[in-house]
Amino acid sequence: MIAVQGVTGKTIGVLGLGRSGLATVAALKDGGAHVIVWDDSPTAADTANGAGVDLRDLTKEGAFEGVDALITSPGIPHLYPEPHPAIEAALRVGVPVDNDIGLFFRSFATQDWDNFDTMPKVIAVTGSNGKSTTSALIHHILEEAGRPAQLAGNIGRGVLDLDPAHDGEVVVLELSSYQTELARALTPDVTVLTNLSPDHLDRHAGFGGYVAAKRRLFAEGGPDRAVVGVDEVEGRYFANQLTEGPGDDRVIRVSSGQKLDRAPWSVFARKGFLSEYRKGRQVASIDLRKIAGLPGAHNHQNACAAYAACRAIGLGPRVIETALHSFAGLPHRSQLIAEKNGVRFVNDSKATNVDSAAKALAAFDNIRWICGGLEKEGGLDALLPAPSVRKAYVIGREAAAFAMKLKGLDVEVCTDMATAVSRAAEDAQSGDTVLLAPAAASFDQYDSFEKRGDDFIAQVSGL
């Protein structure tokens, strides 16, 4: 656990008692704070009692009397579409609002570090798509290279649930826009931007607000190195903002498809090969086509970002290449579930938006596409004409409406996962891929994209 510093004797409110909220409560108590909590859940009293803290309705008049700060869970809106009533109350009376990411960055370094030979480092990864795979891949490479490492944030453990740092350790954090937007302290050593596409627009009042939330990690974090995907104009803008001049190699530009041989330092993938260039000269190359855990151009982009981050902290190209080959991939992200009679079944339930679904569709040929769910803003036009799709099998409560937007495709309305998997398997021929890449959120039928992917796995296993 990371004990929060600077809170001894203070009264700190915690809003939200999920995974990160409970870890925050424990870390604040360990730091000497008096903690009060509030959660809208009807089981909040039992949860608070189990955590050994006081429950106080922070939405009521006068609830912030004597409270020094409010720490909110990332999923709770603090600005758009409108602040949670407890946060609105804190804003009105001037109580500082922060989150666990801010607490982590101001508490991670301790006096024990004075005795370390090698200072610990933090690599922070953000982006619209691929950040979980990139974060897990960086962590995997570090472990395979023998470097002590921990993985946390939007993947795995809560940041304050991490163990105190060891000599030379590297902490890899996956950070969402919800986390970067509010954190009062952001000081990673290396930052990574995978890519940017419209997402969470209601939470950020549009794409501009979403981009600004991501940008805070780079502009306010002051990293020693920044790994930036430059396939979108926003990424090129980020890289430009962080660069002092043509020879500045503190920014490592990353691309999937573009040859970046003029930048001071770049890593890119073309035709299945990763290339690293420094000052106009190629210094390393890796054949990504044989790496089973990283299929498709989108995963090649993730490999480039992870490679660049590990190079930024001094790992050698051959060490990284060896580790790439042993990476098994993440559940629900281009995950090969089964192969029978020449038909592959692939679970990419994490493809919750149009951009990530498009990348999944581009990674395979002859696709029997299972899609649908709670559609996000922006429509589905960016997915079309989808030449690799032989037929779409649509699930979700609004499956018929979703199907009507897939113009030019052979479409079957299935509504539920069991029907979609059964029909796709019946139609599939040798060489086809039955791909779950919903291009939509899961909440119309499932609690999470993980639950949706688990259902797909169960239906495939039952064939």
| Residue 253 confidence class, pLDDT cut points 50, 70, 90 | very high
pLDDT value of position 220: 86
| Residue 441 confidence class, pLDDT cut points 50, 70, 90 | very high
Question: Residues with Cβ < 8 Å from 197, sequence gap 6 or more?
Answer: 128, 129, 232, 353, 354, 355
pLDDT value of position 174: 97
C-alpha 76/C-alpha 69 separation (Å) is 16
| Residue 331 confidence class, pLDDT cut points 50, 70, 90 | confident
Q: What is the pLDDT of the chain when averaged over all its residues?
A: 95
**Residue 132, annotated as binding a ligand:** yes
pLDDT, tens digit, 9 for 90 and up, residues 113-142: 999 999 999 999 999 989 999 999 999 999
Res. 351: pLDDT tops 80? yes
Question: Residues with Cβ < 8 Å from 80, sequence gap 6 or more?
Answer: 202, 203, 204, 205, 209
Res. 293: pLDDT tops 90? no
**Residue 131, annotated as binding a ligand:** yes
**Residue 134, annotated as binding a ligand:** no
- Taking the CA atoms of the chain, what radius of gyration do you get in angstroms? 23
| Residue 424 confidence class, pLDDT cut points 50, 70, 90 | very high
In the chain, the domains with their CATH numbers are 11-98 (3.40.50.720), 109-325 (3.40.1190.10), 335-461 (3.90.190.20)
Mean pLDDT in residue range 282-296: 92
Mean pLDDT in residue range 450-455: 97
pLDDT value of position 326: 94
pLDDT, tens digit, 9 for 90 and up, residues 61-86: 999 999 999 999 999 999 999 999 99
**Residue 18, annotated as binding a ligand:** no
pLDDT, tens digit, 9 for 90 and up, residues 156-201: 789 999 999 999 999 999 999 999 999 999 999 999 999 998 888 8
**Residue 20, annotated as binding a ligand:** no
Question: Residues with Cβ < 8 Å from 50, sequence gap 6 or more?
Answer: none
| Residue 296 confidence class, pLDDT cut points 50, 70, 90 | confident
**Residue 176, annotated as binding a ligand:** no
pLDDT value of position 201: 87
pLDDT value of position 453: 97
Mean pLDDT in residue range 106-116: 95
Mean pLDDT in residue range 318-328: 95
Tokens of 363: 């990674």
pTM of the model: 0.87
**Residue 271, annotated as binding a ligand:** no
pLDDT value of position 377: 79
pLDDT value of position 292: 83
C-alpha 229/C-alpha 254 separation (Å) is 5
* Percentage of residues of the chain with pLDDT beyond 70: 100
pLDDT value of position 208: 95
Say which residue the tokens 């409108």 belong to.
82
